[in-house]
Structures are given as C-alpha cells and as structure tokens.
Structure 1
Amino acid sequence: MSLYGKGFMIWQLARCENGNGVEVARVARAAGLSHVLIKIADGPYTYNVDRTTRVDLVPPVVQELKKNRIQAWGWHYVYGSNPVGEAQIAAQRVNELGLDGYVIDAEVEYKQPGREQAAKAFMAELRKRIPNTPVALCSYRFPVLHPQLPWKAFLDYCDYNMPQVYWQAAHNPADQLRRCVNEFKNLAPYRPIMPTGPVYSAGGWVPTESEMVEFLDAVREHNLSSVNFFAWDYGRKGLIALWNKIAAYPHPIGPQPADIPEQYFSLLNANKPAAIANLYTDDAVHITASKTVQGKEAIQTWHKNFLTNSFPNATFEITSVSGTGSTRSFTWKGVSPSRGKIENGNDTIGLIDGKIAYHYKYFKIT
C-alpha cells in the first residue's frame, strides 16, 4: 500500500486524546493526515497496553482510523539483543491489529558490534511472517555519521525510508533535509524517503512555526510523497502552535510524479521501448561505449534491441541517484537469466523541460 501525505507518530497512546479512538480519528481528519503511526512494541514486548488492566489501547484507535480512511501504521523500537523475538512480536501485532504498514525504529543499540547479524536475523524472521506488509526504517538522518548501523541489512528488506530529520539545537531544516536526501541517494539500496520531522522540545530548543513551514516546503521541493512528525503526544499539548501550522499546510495526498530515473527504470522493467523513447526530446542523443544514436526513433530501436537481444528478460534496479535541476546521475544493476549480470551501470542525463536531451550510458555485461 502506497503512502502519501502527512502523518503523525504516537508514542504513548493514553496521552493522545486520552486514547479515545473516535477523537484520535476526528483530530487526524481535521489536520488533513493521511496516516497515523502508533507505537505497538518495544523490544520483544507489546506497547500501549494498559499495565494495570492489560487492555490493549490500540485496536479501537486503528478501527476508527480505518473508518475514516486514514491509514494505521505501527512503529517499534528495536534493540537487537533478541532479534527473533522482536520480529515475532512485530508480526503478531501487525497481523492482529490489521495494520497498513510497519516501521522499525533502530538507533544506538544497533551501532554495537555484531548487530549486522542481528539485523539480518530480525529482517529475515519479520519478512517470513509479514511478507506483504509495507515496511519502513526510521533511524538517523545522516548515515555518513553512523556507519556502524547496519543500514543495508535493514533497507534490503524495507519498502520505505523514514529518517529522523530532527534539526535539534539548530535552525536550518531545509539544509538538513537536503543533506539527508543526498546522503541516502548515495547509499545502496535506495528506498523512497519519507522524512520524519520534530514536534518536541529539548534542552531549551524548540522548532519554530516558520521552520516547520520551511521543512514542509523542502519536502515538496524534493518531491517526497509523504512526511511524518514525532510526536502527537507533544504537538497536541505544549506545542499546539506547531500542530496547527502542520495541520494548515496543504501537503498533497495522492501519487506524485516519479523522477525521470525512476520512470526510466520502471519502463525498462516493463520492456516498453516506445514509452522509454517518449521520455526523450525529439533530437535527444543517447551515447554508449559502442554507439551513439540521435532522435526518438533511433533511441527506441536501441532500447528494443537491448531488451530483446543484448539483455533479454532482464530486471533492473537503481542503486543510487544524485543531482537536481537539469541533471541526474545514477548507478544501477541488472540481471538477465540468459545473458548474465550488469553490476556497474553508471548513467548521466541532461534534461530540457522535463525531457531527456542527452544520455551517457556505461555498463558491462558479465
């Protein structure tokens, strides 16, 4: 299930509209939220279950959200000391609650030595139990600063990336989001980014209303389909001005056009050379190590030959994307059952009015 629009994370459900599902759904609808993400587990244990009565507070809220056509996702703080147990409780909660998606919150504990194997065990068990549920990773905003975290082990099995773009102790949300997006575009595997912004205070710091608008503007500028905020608990109480600013912001709910590299690879995987040619200007140039062709018809012929003869029945995957404005650079890989692999694809394209004007393509089939 695709995710678009604005969402809020709930930490302690009893502190959010007193845990009343009808009120949570009403407030979410009034704020224009497309989804709400509720904490459902902590480590190998359930969360948002009343400690005294053992009543699960989550089901009636999920029920009311769904009645109002608002997606209900669950999030889960994981530690890595019991990865199989954590995956089992995650799958149990997703299945019994009928959730639309699941979010992994992996932070400092997963930077300890040996946690890559824990992440692999967790993800393998999780995907065995919920193979069709959308899964996202919600962790640090700058992966370059946290190389110890097993990013690939998590992202290999995830559908989305929801980095915590918390500009705590600073006042430059757009710059931080830009850096976040660029770093993840250079980290394989790339997953669609749906950033999580801060609605909390810390040590005297609190984001301002103007910063919240700047952050949301930057989300739209990067054509990111969805944005989340942590947390409802704070926004509806001490930080109501921030809540209201987010509620008033018209972030679109609905699919946004994919960027040119994503469109191109989607059509490659669909084996549609004519549609691929329509991505180019009339006099576009396509350059490879062995041949240069010009014009839509010639570009269509090249792609038809490539997909039919040179590398038939292939599947392709983008591994990184960089560039904005009129240029894009991207790396990619592909597999053809009869012809082998491409593991070093490296392309650069130039755009005019949203169409490809030139395309430098490098690859080697092995």
Structure 2
Amino acid sequence: MSVYRGKHMWIWEVASTLSGDVQSIISLGQRLGIDGFLVKSHDGTTVLSQFSKVVKPLQQAGFMVGAWGFVYGSQPTAEAQAAQQGIDAGADWYVIDAETAYDGKAPEATVFGHALRTKNPHLVIGYAPFAFPSLHPQFPYTAFSAFCDVCLPQIYWAEFGQTVTSAFDQSIAELKPLGHPIAPIGQSFAAATAAEIEQFAVLAHQALCPGISYYDLQSASSVQLQAIKNVTVYPAPSYAHASATSGSTPATSGSTSATSGSTSATSGSTSATSGSTSTPTSAAGSSSASTTPSVTPSPSAVTRSLPVTPSDVSTSDWFYAAVTDLLKLGIVTAYQDGLFKPNETITRAQAADWINRLRIYLEKASGLPIA
C-alpha cells in the first residue's frame, strides 16, 4: 500500500496543535479515523525539532508519518540537507511545499531533486503545488514532477472563492497531464464548511485519487473536524489505530476545554503566502492494505454536517450576527456538543485560544505578521 493512500491530516506547528501533547494528537487522529499525519520538518534551511519529537510516537500508534518542508529555492542544496534530517529521523515519506518563491526556478528545483534522490532513491517524494498551473505559468511543475512520485495540489476552494466542485475539477484537469498520481489537499480552515469538506472527499473518490489530506489540524474547528470524521470514503486500514475506538466518539480538537482546542493557525500555504507558514497524508498501514470502496457514496453522505449556527443561538438574539460570523471564520468555537452557550463564562485558556485565532486571521488577511 502506498504511503499516500487514505485520509491524512497536516500539522504545521506541533506546539499549537492540542498544546503540543502527542498523546492528544494520537487520540484525536484515532477518533477522526485518519491514516497518517504530515508534520512540518523544516522551513527552508532551518530544521524544526518538532518533527523528530513526534515521528516515532505517531508511528508506534499506527500512523504513517510524512515530513514536509517549505522551500524557497535560493539555496536548494542546503534545503535538501535540511529535508534530509527529517527523512533520517524516520519519515515514511517526504512532501515539498513550494510556492511563489519558486517561480522561475526550474534549475533550482532540479538541483534540489537530484540531491534528495541521490540519497533516497526509493523514498516516496511528493510535492504540494498551487492547484491551477494555468494561473502560475512561472512555477516549475515539470521540474518537480521529474523526480517526485505524487502530486498533492492545494485545493483550497473557499480561499479561491469557488465551489468545491469547480476548484477540484479544474485542478485535476490541469494536473493530470503531468502523469503522476494526484492525492489532493482539502481545506479545513477558515470558511470551509462541513458539507464542502465531505464533498471534497467524494469528488476525490470519484476521480480515483489514491488518497486525500486536509490542511490543517491546528486550525480546524470542531465542526470541520466532525466533517473529516464523517469522511469514510477512505476507511482506515486494519492496523494499530483502526480499532473500534477510531470512530465511536465525537471528533473534537480538545479533550477538556469547551473550545475546539486545536488552537489557531493560518491556512499556511494558501495561494500566494510566504514560506514561513505553509501546508500538507494517507498512511499505508504497517501490515495491511486499504481497499477503496467501489460504490459511490450516496448524496446524503455528501451533505451530512453539523449546523453552522448552534441551536441555542437564534436570529432574534442581539449577538446573532457576531457569533455566526466569527464561527464561520473560525475565530470562535462552539462547545463539543455543538452548542455555543452564550451565557457561559470562559476560562483564560479559552480566551487566549480565541484571541490567537483572531491574530492568525488578521495576519492571513493582511499578509503581515502581528507582533
């Protein structure tokens, strides 16, 4: 079974994902029924220690673990050396997140790829480019394709202002000529709705994509996580974590607090963002393969989702607009039972979570870091 088969989740900042608690990440992954994680291992030439801290525990829990890094192309050999450290730490595969910084740098992509392939001739390597080659004519899709095994396009429909179907169909049509398997990345941040998250999986299944992933765990709301849990188009293989516990409890990003717990995070590698934030896993089981269902899910499976507006918030409430707007943006969160509980007090931890979500949202909207 290929490492990119199945349903995967991206992790950008481990410390901001369930407070960096690996056991909580494992438990959530089991509840979501995912097959693997993609964890950021380097940013350019800077190696991130977070990957080496989580790779073994996640693998021991039965997940496939990929390393990913944002690359700029200014120092391709040094960036390949940084990527190698994550690979040497035990990554099951490696994914390149290259975006606008790599425009017009086909020779650099070739140097980077040669350095990786020389040391890792049999490693599965993927790249996570922009969804639409037609909109990025200077990006070296062909150069990356020459040494990569799989393409993971960033299909962030809500960010594009498109429907899931239009964004998905356009991306697949434009990338198919490159000749690689396509394991698309779906949006689980900001304005992506639960119904859209589930529909993305159905479209990928219908297009015979071998795997899917969602970006990312730290920024997904409880509603978005529930939708990912609902995705059964790519059922978990029958190894370690895919036991009876993998779908029996509601998917939440936090084990104790009223918020979703998976604190904040930008979408990272959306269209033209910089490399310091960025994106993008399907685990091959350690011993057995997963079989993709041959029956297309029913329409009801596509639209099943939690309500965007909590049942205890009505249009007559003075705070209705504020609550619903902030929920849609992912700045505030509902409780694990789907209620907002407008008269409930919040803890300092919950307040910090919401303020941090606002900071991330503003940084993303302005393109500037907020100190």
Q: TM-score, normalised by structure 1?
A: 0.63
Give, as a single letter, the amino acid of the residue that structure 2 aligns with 1:40: S
C-alpha displacement at 1:77, in angstroms? 0.3
- The answer on 1:178 being equivalent to 2:169 is yes
C-alpha displacement at 1:169, in angstroms? 4.4
- The answer on 1:200 being equivalent to 2:192 is no
C-alpha displacement at 1:257, in angstroms? 8.9
C-alpha displacement at 1:146, in angstroms? 1.0
Q: Please identify the structure whose Cα radius of gyration is greater.
A: 1
C-alpha displacement at 1:256, in angstroms? 3.9
Give, as a single letter, the amino acid of the residue that structure 2 aligns with 1:173: V
Q: 1:151 aligns with which of 121, 141, 161?
A: 141
For residues 256 and 152 of structure 1, the distance between their equivalents in structure 2, rounded to whole angstroms, comes to: 29
C-alpha displacement at 1:156, in angstroms? 0.9
- 1:155-193 deviations in Å (ceiling 9; x for gaps): 11111100000111424112211111111112x3x1100
User: How do 1:2-17 residues align onto structure 2 when only pairs under 5 Å count?
Assistant: 2=2, 3-17=4-18
For residues 175 and 169 of structure 1, the distance between their equivalents in structure 2, rounded to whole angstroms, comes to: 10
- 1:63-105 deviations in Å (ceiling 9; x for gaps): 221112110101100000000000011012211x201010000
- Indicate the residue corresponding to 1:327 in structure 2: none
- Indicate the residue corresponding to 1:26 in structure 2: 27
- The answer on 1:105 being equivalent to 2:97 is yes
CA RMSD of aligned residues (A): 1.6
Range moving further from structure 2, 243-252 or 81-90 = 243-252
Asked if structure 1 preserves the Cα contact closer than 8 Å seen for 2:41 and 2:69, the reply is yes
User: How do 1:296-311 residues align onto structure 2 when only pairs under 5 Å count?
Assistant: none
Asked if structure 2 preserves the Cα contact closer than 8 Å seen for 1:102 and 1:135, the reply is yes
- Indicate the residue corresponding to 1:74 in structure 2: 67
- The answer on 1:210 being equivalent to 2:195 is yes
Asked if structure 2 preserves the Cα contact closer than 8 Å seen for 1:8 and 1:33, the reply is yes
- 1:305-331 deviations in Å (ceiling 9; x for gaps): xxxxxxxxxxxxxxxxxxxxxxxxxxx
- Indicate the residue corresponding to 2:119 in structure 1: 129
Asked if structure 2 preserves the Cα contact closer than 8 Å seen for 1:171 and 1:211, the reply is no
- 1:135-159 deviations in Å (ceiling 9; x for gaps): 0010100112112111111111111
SS at match of 2:91: coil
Asked if structure 1 preserves the Cα contact closer than 8 Å seen for 2:233 and 2:292, the reply is no
Asked if structure 2 preserves the Cα contact closer than 8 Å seen for 1:20 and 1:61, the reply is no
In the alignment, structure 1 segments of 5+ residues that lack a partner are 48-55, 259-366
Q: Which has the higher contact order (CA 8 A, sep 6+)?
A: 2
Give structure 1 regions of 4+ aligned residues with deviation exceeding 6 angstroms. none
Asked if structure 1 preserves the Cα contact closer than 8 Å seen for 2:31 and 2:229, the reply is yes
For residues 57 and 179 of structure 1, the distance between their equivalents in structure 2, rounded to whole angstroms, comes to: 35
Give, as a single letter, the amino acid of the residue that structure 1 aligns with 2:165: A
SS at match of 1:33: coil
User: How do 1:241-256 residues align onto structure 2 when only pairs under 5 Å count?
Assistant: 241-253=223-235, 254-256=290-292
Q: 2:154 aligns with which of 161, 164, 184?
A: 164
In the alignment, structure 2 segments of 5+ residues that lack a partner are 236-289, 295-371
- Indicate the residue corresponding to 1:342 in structure 2: none
C-alpha displacement at 1:199, in angstroms? 1.5
Asked if structure 1 preserves the Cα contact closer than 8 Å seen for 2:32 and 2:228, the reply is yes
For residues 293 and 45 of structure 2, the distance between their equivalents in structure 1, rounded to whole angstroms, comes to: 39
C-alpha displacement at 1:225, in angstroms? 1.7
Asked if structure 1 preserves the Cα contact closer than 8 Å seen for 2:56 and 2:90, the reply is no
Q: 1:141 aligns with which of 109, 123, 131?
A: 131
For residues 227 and 57 of structure 1, the distance between their equivalents in structure 2, rounded to whole angstroms, comes to: 23
C-alpha displacement at 1:59, in angstroms? 2.8
User: How do 1:290-329 residues align onto structure 2 when only pairs under 5 Å count?
Assistant: none
User: How do 1:200-279 residues align onto structure 2 when only pairs under 5 Å count?
Assistant: 200-201=189-190, 206-235=191-220, 239-253=221-235, 254-256=290-292
SS at match of 2:154: coil
Asked if structure 1 preserves the Cα contact closer than 8 Å seen for 2:69 and 2:96, the reply is yes
C-alpha displacement at 1:252, in angstroms? 2.2
Asked if structure 2 preserves the Cα contact closer than 8 Å seen for 1:165 and 1:196, the reply is yes
- Indicate the residue corresponding to 2:312 in structure 1: none
Give, as a single letter, the amino acid of the residue that structure 2 aligns with 1:42: D
- Indicate the residue corresponding to 2:180 in structure 1: 191
C-alpha displacement at 1:38, in angstroms? 0.4
Give, as a single letter, the amino acid of the residue that structure 1 aligns with 2:225: W
